[in-house]
A and B are shown apart, each in its own frame.
Chain A
Amino acid sequence: MSMVREDFREILRLVRPGARVLDIGCGEGALLQLLTDEKSVDGRGLEISPGGVAACLTRGLAVVQGDADRDLADFPTQAFDYAILSQTLQAVREPRRVLEELLRIADRAIVSFPNFGHWRVRWALMAGGRMPMTGSLPTPWYETQNIHLCTVGDFVDLCDALHVEIEAAAALAEGRPARSIDPRLFIENWRAETAIFLLNRQTPKDGSSPRPDRPERNDLFD
């Protein structure tokens, strides 16, 4: 376990053993493999590169080639316990819709992203007047895939707007174990280099559905 990335370690901690998991942007399947080996999950992946999918197949993982913006619609409603979107939200065209899709497909979503409110980022922009390049944002502005960067505060606002409940949050910094945080605290928006959230659909207190247009559970959508 010593070689496990800290964000993977945190995700491992959050996922219930034996759960059904969809890993979106699963790359060569390292996290899915880990979840399968350590948590006996029933895992599926979505990955954009053919080479990544081929690598996953070699590991014996079930992975479909596709991208988060276009292909999440292909997955049935509530087919998974967890949908994981690791370091990808800031690179999709429609983060708001993707987030809604995650919580349509799965009961819970685990989302991680680089925090644009981190003090190093703020300092680089304020003092240098240049787009920040930091440990969690290593690519120059003209080459980055990140088109929808946000801060922890922005993300909390979006969750509120979508009636998404934040069950847990943690901050990650390079090489250090995850630190549980209250993402609504002003200071955490300065301190967290990368943030990881465990989300679920909010159950309204009066028992009415927050989104009446949500279809009944139905895994046939074809």
Chain B
Amino acid sequence: MKGITPPLNVEESGGGVMRFSPDEALRLESGGQLNGFEVGYRTYGQLNSDASNAILVCHALTGDQYVASPHPTTGKPGWWIELIGPGKPLDTGRYFIICTNVIGGCMGSTGPSSTDPATGAPYGLTFPVITIGDMVRAQALLVEKLGITTLFAVVGGSMGGMQVLQWTVDYPNRVFSAVCIASAPRHSAQNIALNEVGRQAIMADPDWRGGDYAGLGTRPEKGLAVARMAAHITYLSEAALQRKFGREFQKDGVSWGFDADFQVESYLRHQGASFVDRFDANSYLYITRAMDYFDLAVAHGGVLAEAFRRARQVRFCVLSFTSDWLYPTTESRDIVRALNAAGARVSFVEIESDKGHDAFLLHEPVMEAALSGFVASAAKARGLKS
């Protein structure tokens, strides 16, 4: 239990970096392993005496463990502060909330920007390719270290939702309930295509240096910013973009050139520029790759219901949003159909919203009501005190 720091503010109850010794290697799906890896994490609320009230929150592609506390680089509030806190759907007065940085990330968990103990230099592209399953295996080791056998709930949106599903498939007896929001059981061709645009933008930046930029003292900021700009569009919807920006100009109107004349251009440029301050380009490559490789059915003869066969006693809640075209409702319905076929206990709501994929990070009353209801009733079934 090294690396635990005292609470940083009212919300955080612990966390830091958990270091695993070289004899606790992380096996990887690609065949390799990580010796002596680290997992960055934060906790909120208190673990009860029988360790039965722990909720693991899984973050999305560019998220991190600062789910309910200010980001150390940007100072912005936690990314799921709408859902986590006293009296919120994930009530910190009742549950012990854990959020970890994924393996391959750049906020404290071992990733391509970490130092390779074998060479003493940053891994760069010598970092092994990781999968959603690998991320989950690292989380399982951390959860075990925290003295928790069974998680009361695993909750996540987007790539976080993939981790949730993977948890129920790989560790069905260690998960009591699971909430999968705006996600999919596999990455679609469109998802892979969009990720590839981002990766190519990074690799086309001369400062990327074949992935060795850290050792060579450069940063592929332009490529990473373009990747973020393209991705950011996919998190919104046509209606949301139109409502927010329309065809509004920046102050001076038409420049007869290629400045950011339109507000939407300026907004995207800002999104790209601020992203590079907090994210590592190689992490972006590795994590998007992990998402592309994600296909829960593939290890089960292509039958998704088979993947969930051992998870039939887990209580599932699946949520999607009407305007999410990145992880559309049809993909959530695929999950629901397979869970029904496996005989699992599943609830599903498609939430009316015009905010696109990002709706899961925003204030959405129906999502909050559904999540509150589901978690509270699961807590009752689990026998947790209110």
| A and B pair up | yes
Q: Which residues from chain A sit less than 8 Å from chain B, CB to CB?
A: 44, 50-51, 53-66, 74-76, 79, 219-222
CB distance from A19 to the nearest CB of B (A): 15
Query: Are the CB atoms of A74 and B349 closer together than 8 Å?
Result: no
Query: Are the CB atoms of B369 and A222 closer together than 8 Å?
Result: no
What 0/1 pattern do residues 361 to 386 of B give for CB contact below 8 A with A? 00000100110111011101100000
Query: Are the CB atoms of B315 and A222 closer together than 8 Å?
Result: no
Query: Are the CB atoms of A222 and B341 closer together than 8 Å?
Result: yes
Contact of B366 among A44, A50, A56 (CB under 8 A): A50
* B134 on the A face (CB < 8 A): no
Of B231-239, B254-262, B332-340, the one with at least 4 CB within 8 A of chain A: B332-340
Contact of A50 among B333, B341, B352, B374 (CB under 8 A): B352
Query: Are the CB atoms of B349 and A54 closer together than 8 Å?
Result: yes
List chain B residues, Cβ under 8 A from A66: 348
List chain A residues, Cβ under 8 A from B372: 58
Cα(A4)–Cα(B315), bound, Å: 29
Cα(A221)–Cα(B306), bound, Å: 10
Query: Are the CB atoms of B340 and A76 closer together than 8 Å?
Result: yes
CB distance from B30 to the nearest CB of A (A): 27
Interface size on B, as a range, is 20 to 34
* B212 on the A face (CB < 8 A): no
Query: Are the CB atoms of A75 and B377 closer together than 8 Å?
Result: no
Q: Assuming the A-B contacts A75-B340, A221-B341, are A59 and B377 also in contact, with contact meaning beta carbons closer than 8 angstroms in the complex?
A: yes
* B132 on the A face (CB < 8 A): no
CB distance from A30 to the nearest CB of B (A): 15
Query: Are the CB atoms of B374 and A57 closer together than 8 Å?
Result: yes
List chain B residues, Cβ under 8 A from A54: 349, 366, 369-370, 373
* B224 on the A face (CB < 8 A): no
Q: Which 5 A-B pairs have the closest CB atoms?
A: A60-B377, A58-B373, A57-B373, A64-B348, A74-B337
* B347 on the A face (CB < 8 A): yes
Query: Are the CB atoms of B345 and A62 closer together than 8 Å?
Result: yes
* B303 on the A face (CB < 8 A): yes
Query: Are the CB atoms of A65 and B380 closer together than 8 Å?
Result: no
Cα(A142)–Cα(B94), bound, Å: 50
Q: What are 13 A-B interface contacts by the 8 Å CB criterion?
A: A44-B345, A54-B366, A54-B373, A57-B317, A57-B373, A61-B347, A62-B346, A63-B347, A63-B348, A64-B336, A219-B342, A220-B341, A222-B341
